Structure 1
Amino acid sequence: MVESMNEVKHRIASTKSTRQITEAMEMVQTVKLNRIQGQTVTYNKYVSKIKSVIMHLAQSHLLDNRKPSSSKASDSKKKTAYLVITSDRGMVGSYNSNIIRGTKRFIEEHSPNPDDYVILAVGGNGADFFKKNDANVSYEYRGVSDIPTFSEVKKIVKAISQMYDDGLFTELYICSSHFVNRIRSDFKAQKLLPMDRESIEESMSTGEGIGSEVKTKKLTAEYEVEPSEEEVLNDILPQYAETLAYGAILDAKTAEHSSSSMAMKAATDNAGDLISSLELKYNRARQAAITTEITEITGGQEALNH
């Protein structure tokens, strides 16, 4: 009985130590979540402006006959790339599994033949999963900052754009987690390349980052541009692609921090429940031991009296 009580005491102490760790990790992730949400506000202001410019330029019908960006791949070698954004570490709840499951389903619908697609992985979990499953992982980037900077993402976009220009693939989709609120995130697949009318209108239709005044009022061409509207559009579209990629990674990181915070909260709550259960078990065992001891003393006293 004494040994059993000591084991329970050890488990209580160990669980309390674990709870302190998960509580601290929950606080850290909450701080990161608050910081990245503040950065998202700034990003939304920027993307609202750049989308507004493109939409105004579109009034000149420059997108009507716009051809996809140049790629050395021929039509007979069409291949799709899927940029999968996951985390580098665990302890993020179902965050990674939801992205991987959503990506697999999206690939099965659009590229059922393994020879028709390549994987570009941002985050170690996605890279490791698709490698283990013999997928063609042509690019991987690990160690994205907790609060990603635009310059950091620009390096990723530059590397991927070079692969596109070299003909490794002819179109690109970003597969990631979209942050809805602190308790919910949804899988999202968004076309990034080529930057043609179809993909631009698709991204515009989401309304993300567009101010209400841009979405509601009737737009007219309001800019005087030099040397020409077409050349301005050719310059701004690469910036727009970088902006979409940055937004996707920023959004994914927000969802990651939220999922990690919720996972740590659940672990803390579970630890609390386990501690309560163990303390009840310990108190019962202690009470039983005391009762046994009293019974033995009483029995011994009665034996002496006789």
Structure 2
Amino acid sequence: MPGLKDVKDQISGVKKTAQITKAMNMVASAKLRGAQDKMESFRPYAEKFAEAMRDLSSGMEGSDLPLMEVRDVKTVEIVVVTSDRGLCGSFNANIVKAAEKLAKQYEAEGKNVSFVTIGKKAYQVLRRTGNVRASYSDIMSSFQMFNAREISQGITEAFLNGDSDRVDLIYGKFHSVAVQKPETEELLPIKAVEAEGEEAAVENGATGSYIYEPDPNEIMEALLPLHLNVQVYRAMLEVGASEHAARMAAMDKATNACKDIIKELTQLYNKARQAAVTNELMDIVGGAEALKG
């Protein structure tokens, strides 16, 4: 059985760890409020932007728009968005695993795969593959729209130059404080929505077609790059909120685990102390009996 001092030192160390994890839980909770508000404020804009893009692209062919050009896919680029910091459970690991699984599926089909990593955690793992074309680290703690614009411009240039024929986006989507799951979306080429018939239009509440000025092709040419910016920025916002939620849950579990360990060590300490007291009493009784004899 360990000595009393050793057990007491262990209890003291675990208590300090519990204080740290509790503090990190409170910090993550405070940051989550701001990140969640920012994400939820941007979601309606992103949804409305996507709706406008669907209306514009309805029945449109992408032959005149390079970002809507559908090619024979030989090279796929996967954009992986994670956080820069750890201590948030399996959140980042799940995103990277989803990216690796998707890459293996493409490779099994004979396609070449490259990665663009956003966030340090994705780069730390995927750099071992040797297929990381570009990485953007140390930006997830204070990113802005211009960061998303820079990233989407690099992705667009690679697609237009023929370095990639398809671009997929993988990120951690925020469903709730308790649930954050990897989400996969096709980023490029941007798919046109098929025109709806009259019956479908009536069912959806549409009563007529829109007239655009200037020509829809000109509008789409200007909006397609902005659409990519919005998609990338939205994914970064989702990951930002998900990271804090996952860290808050992980630190809460760590604090509870520390409490369980302290309870077990306290029981062990009490047993060791009781054993020491019993041994001392036995020595005293034995000495008294020896004096009597």
Aligned partners of 1:86 and 1:122 also within 8 Å: yes
- Partner in structure 2 of residue 90 of structure 1: 86
Aligned length in residues: 284
- Partner in structure 1 of residue 289 of structure 2: 302
Q: Structure 2: state its 5+ residue gaps.
A: 195-202
Aligned partners of 2:31 and 2:244 also within 8 Å: yes
1:261 to 241, 244, 248: 248
Aligned partners of 2:78 and 2:115 also within 8 Å: yes
> Given the alignment of the two structures, is residue 250 of structure 1 paired with residue 237 of structure 2, yes or no?
yes
> CA RMSD for the aligned pairs?
2.6
| Deviation per residue, 1:193-232 (Å, 9 max, x gap) | 112316xx8xxxxxxxxxxxxxx84235676543333322
Label 1:31 to 1:221 Cα distance change in 2 as closer, same or farther (>3 A). farther
Q: 2 CA distance for matches of 1:296 and 1:114?
A: 79
Q: 2 CA distance for matches of 1:162 and 1:68?
A: 17
- Partner in structure 2 of residue 53 of structure 1: 52
Aligned partners of 2:83 and 2:140 also within 8 Å: no
> Given the alignment of the two structures, is residue 281 of structure 1 paired with residue 264 of structure 2, yes or no?
no
Label 1:56 to 1:279 Cα distance change in 2 as closer, same or farther (>3 A). same
Percent sequence identity is 27
Q: 1 CA distance for matches of 2:98 and 2:70?
A: 29
Q: 1:153-302 maps to which residues of 2 (within 5 A)?
A: 153-197=148-192, 217-220=204-207, 225-302=212-289
Q: 1 CA distance for matches of 2:30 and 2:272?
A: 42
2:133 to 132, 135, 138: 138
| Deviation per residue, 1:134-161 (Å, 9 max, x gap) | 3411111101233542222222212222
Aligned partners of 2:91 and 2:246 also within 8 Å: yes
TM normalised by structure 1 equals: 0.83
Shift of 1:20: 0.7
Shift of 1:274: 0.4
Shift of 1:255: 2.0
TM normalised by structure 2 equals: 0.86
Aligned partners of 1:22 and 1:267 also within 8 Å: yes
- Partner in structure 1 of residue 123 of structure 2: 127
Q: 1 CA distance for matches of 2:65 and 2:122?
A: 28
